[in-house]
Chain A
Amino acid sequence: MNRLRLGGVGGFIVRRLLLGVLVLVLVSVLVFLATQALPGDPARAILGRNATPESLAALRRQLHLDQPVINQYWTWVTGLLHGNLGVSLAAQEPISKLLGPRLVNSGVLVLLAAVLSIPLSVAIGAWAALKREKVFDTASSNLLLLLAALPEFVVALVLVIVFATTVLHVLPAISTVPPGSQPWDNWEALVLPVLTLVIAVAPYVARVMRASMIEVLESDYVEMARLKGLTERTVLLRHALPNALGPVFQVIALNLAYLAGGIIIIEYVFNYSGVGGAIQDAVLNHDLPVVQALAMLIATVYVVLNLLADVATILVTPRLRTRL
């Protein structure tokens, strides 16, 4: 079997990719079964109690509910792979057309949040580890602990109260993106949502970074580097940081994936026209195709992020490469 395995990092990527695909397939099955094949009548749930038998039958046909489950699944999956996300029941329009701009909007938020939070939290964590148990460390640790504990919508609303409605009035409380315009046209409206996302994610990354950095700083090889007479700068940048970052990648990926769920709430609070709002509407309207499509999208994002994190970890930890 050793001969069958592709060697090195390339082979590892391929294997993780296949694993990711497997997970996605299983997720699709799960999502599909959950939405389509549960007992109870989706058609009735959508149309309500007063629907006529004809409209029910028509809807069922439209939803392919008269076909065997396997066929329904197959139709859906092949459609997905071709980029056809299905048709929204509420809007009677192709989902990809509906979601397109919303995806861009949400993407902008997540990207901004990531770009801001990751370097910030890595820096805070590393600095806190260096100045261990001094003022910066204790203050930042406690502050981050409390911030991390708060639910996002609480953070969002507190920010709104402070900056928009009650205490100060410098930023808008609502961040709608009118259709046709781009989110960066009104950058003021992005500040609070992005800030909320950063606060949601940064504390965890910072804490893991701090813990990882402390462990590295106490390691034998860092002690040895100091005993070799290397400058403190070399010790930190060449010996400590790269080893400290290894475990952090996984946490970053996990947290970015978490953001995919976090946007749902944030977009609701700020009335931001993104994917989160779409999910919410879909849920309230029982718009199952949209729910399915969005679930698969988010799952894909998660799997991709994890794959990237695994690859990054492997690149930073040479020791793991020989086991490949």
Chain B
Amino acid sequence: MSETSVAFADVEAVPTPVRGANLLRRSMRLWRTRIGVALVGLIVLISIIGPYIAPYGPSTPVGVPNANPGGKAVLGTDYLGQDVLSRTLYGGRSILVMAVLATALGLIAGGAIGLVAAYSRNALDDTLMRGMDVLLALPQIMLALVAVAIIGPRTWVIVAAIALTTVPRIARVARGAAQPVVERDFIACSEAMGVPRWRIVGGELLPNTLGPLMVEASLRMTYNIAVVAALAFLGLAPDPNGANWGTMITENQIVLPVQPWGTLAPIIAIALLTMGTGLIGDGIARTAAGIDRARGEE
């Protein structure tokens, strides 16, 4: 007796499984992700529209240097008499643009390298990973410093150096996430059908590693923002005279006991931004882990 066709309408309603955008959407259910998005959104907004709503220009003298908050300057003035609030509003763009660009480049290149390495499982894998090891041997900021030392603190130099150091870190994670997927039978199935290799890597491997990749990307973003700001802090911003949170901190560090706001305002801005990206990354990680737990056998 062969089985009759059965339509079981009560196929249990498991929540629709997670694909890229879906993971982001679901992680928004967590409080921490929402707070993180709010923080990041706030700072990004300030950085973008800041220059348009700032009361004064970034280099306009507004009063006596190192004056405490009051009068024209809501947060006081800095060591040159410029308005702290205005400079803070102007100071985020450069950092954000460089960090986002560097992370994006690193993500694309590192992701590709990691996935290809995991899929090839042979000498190519070893070679690529040795190359990554070489890049990993130098701390991020060190490489950026060396690059800047030779060529100078230009925007593209900083972005390139940071992107270059982001690549191996992402590649490692991508490879680690892809290796278990490569072992799964549906990849073998596509290979048996003769699907081209690049198609398998991009169309089947990548969508199944998005979770860990997104988590690592937000972690990298947090780090890269810190590195860019640190470079500026060390006096290596592309425009040393322009408003930049990092440079502001360094410039006003001496007068901390007298007028803390010159340093505090940019510190708060950076802190809020990085805490925001950190919370987002953690939210995504928790959502992905919760899903894996619910799925059980996968």
* Contact of A51 with B by CB under 8 A: no
**CA of A124 to CA of B136, assembled, Å:** 28
Contacting residues, chain B, for A154 (C-beta < 8 A): 226, 229, 267, 270-271, 274
* Contact of A151 with B by CB under 8 A: yes
**CA of A38 to CA of B147, assembled, Å:** 11
* Contact of B49 with A by CB under 8 A: no
27 A/B residue pairs, CB under 8 Å, sorted by A: A22-B130, A23-B130, A27-B138, A34-B147, A35-B150, A151-B227, A151-B230, A151-B270, A151-B274, A154-B271, A157-B249, A165-B256, A166-B257, A173-B256, A257-B139, A260-B142, A262-B141, A264-B234, A265-B141, A265-B230, A279-B142, A283-B149, A286-B149, A291-B145, A298-B137, A298-B138, A299-B138
Min distance, Cβ A36 to any Cβ of chain B, angstroms = 9
Binds A, one of B74-82, B197-205, B276-284: B276-284
Contacting residues, chain B, for A146 (C-beta < 8 A): 275, 278
Interface hub of B139, B234, B278 (most chain A Cβ within 10 A): B139
* Contact of A26 with B by CB under 8 A: yes
The listed residue (B139, B148, B151, B270) touching A261 by CB distance below 8 A is: B139
* Contact of B159 with A by CB under 8 A: no
Min distance, Cβ B255 to any Cβ of chain A, angstroms = 10
**CA of A225 to CA of B233, assembled, Å:** 53
Q: Decide if B145 touches A280 in the complex (CB within 8 Å).
A: yes
Q: Decide if B137 touches A157 in the complex (CB within 8 Å).
A: no
**CA of A282 to CA of B142, assembled, Å:** 12
Q: Are A303 and B137 CB-contacts (below 8 A) given A161-B260, A279-B145?
A: yes
- Segment 109-159 of A: residues with Cβ below 8 Å from B: 145-146, 148-154, 157-158
Q: Are A35 and B146 CB-contacts (below 8 A) given A154-B267, A261-B140, A261-B141?
A: yes
A146-B278, A154-B226 are known; give 18 further A-B pairs, CB within 8 A.
Answer: A27-B134, A35-B150, A152-B226, A152-B230, A154-B267, A161-B256, A165-B257, A260-B139, A261-B140, A265-B233, A269-B253, A283-B145, A283-B148, A288-B149, A288-B150, A295-B142, A298-B138, A298-B142
* Contact of A268 with B by CB under 8 A: yes
Q: Decide if A283 touches B230 in the complex (CB within 8 Å).
A: no
* Contact of B183 with A by CB under 8 A: no
Q: Residue of B at shortest CB range from A166?
A: B260
**CA of A291 to CA of B151, assembled, Å:** 14
Where the two chains meet, the residues of A that have a C-beta atom closer than 8 Å to any C-beta of B are 19, 22-24, 26-27, 30-31, 34-35, 38, 40, 42, 45, 145-146, 148-154, 157-158, 160-161, 165-166, 173, 257-258, 260-262, 264-265, 268-269, 279-280, 282-284, 286, 288, 291, 295, 298-299, 302-303
**CA of A177 to CA of B141, assembled, Å:** 24
Min distance, Cβ A302 to any Cβ of chain B, angstroms = 5
**CA of A302 to CA of B275, assembled, Å:** 28
Q: Decide if A299 touches B145 in the complex (CB within 8 Å).
A: no
Q: Decide if B137 touches A153 in the complex (CB within 8 Å).
A: no
**CA of A153 to CA of B235, assembled, Å:** 13
Contacting residues, chain A, for B230 (C-beta < 8 A): 151-153, 265
* Contact of B222 with A by CB under 8 A: yes
Where chain A touches its partner, the secondary structure class is: helix
Where the two chains meet, the residues of B that have a C-beta atom closer than 8 Å to any C-beta of A are 130, 133-134, 136-142, 145-151, 222, 225-227, 229-230, 233-236, 249, 253, 256-257, 260, 263-264, 267, 270-271, 274-275, 277-279, 282
Min distance, Cβ A41 to any Cβ of chain B, angstroms = 11
**CA of A153 to CA of B267, assembled, Å:** 9
**CA of A93 to CA of B68, assembled, Å:** 46
Min distance, Cβ B148 to any Cβ of chain A, angstroms = 7
**CA of A148 to CA of B130, assembled, Å:** 28
Contacting residues, chain A, for B257 (C-beta < 8 A): 165-166
Q: Residue of A at shortest CB range from B275?
A: A149
Q: Decide if B151 touches A40 in the complex (CB within 8 Å).
A: yes
**CA of A30 to CA of B146, assembled, Å:** 11
Contacting residues, chain B, for A258 (C-beta < 8 A): 139
The listed residue (B139, B226, B278) touching A145 by CB distance below 8 A is: B278
Q: Decide if A150 touches B141 in the complex (CB within 8 Å).
A: no
Q: Decide if B139 touches A27 in the complex (CB within 8 Å).
A: no
Contacting residues, chain B, for A26 (C-beta < 8 A): 130, 134
Q: Decide if A160 touches B256 in the complex (CB within 8 Å).
A: yes
**CA of A257 to CA of B140, assembled, Å:** 11
Contacting residues, chain A, for B137 (C-beta < 8 A): 23-24, 27, 298-299, 302-303
Q: Residue of B at shortest CB range from A290?
A: B149
**CA of A295 to CA of B145, assembled, Å:** 10
**CA of A209 to CA of B138, assembled, Å:** 25
**CA of A73 to CA of B130, assembled, Å:** 22
Q: Residue of B at shortest CB range from A211?
A: B289
Q: Decide if B225 touches A151 in the complex (CB within 8 Å).
A: yes
Q: Decide if B133 touches A23 in the complex (CB within 8 Å).
A: yes
Q: Decide if A265 touches B150 in the complex (CB within 8 Å).
A: no
**CA of A205 to CA of B174, assembled, Å:** 21
Q: Are A34 and B130 CB-contacts (below 8 A) given A145-B282, A158-B267, A265-B234?
A: no
Q: Decide if A151 touches B229 in the complex (CB within 8 Å).
A: yes
**CA of A284 to CA of B152, assembled, Å:** 10
Contacting residues, chain A, for B150 (C-beta < 8 A): 34-35, 38, 40, 42, 45, 286, 288
Contacting residues, chain A, for B146 (C-beta < 8 A): 31, 34-35, 283, 291, 295
**CA of A152 to CA of B249, assembled, Å:** 13
Contacting residues, chain A, for B253 (C-beta < 8 A): 157, 269
**CA of A152 to CA of B223, assembled, Å:** 10
Q: Decide if A280 touches B275 in the complex (CB within 8 Å).
A: no
Contacting residues, chain A, for B234 (C-beta < 8 A): 264-265, 268, 280
Min distance, Cβ A177 to any Cβ of chain B, angstroms = 20
**CA of A35 to CA of B138, assembled, Å:** 14
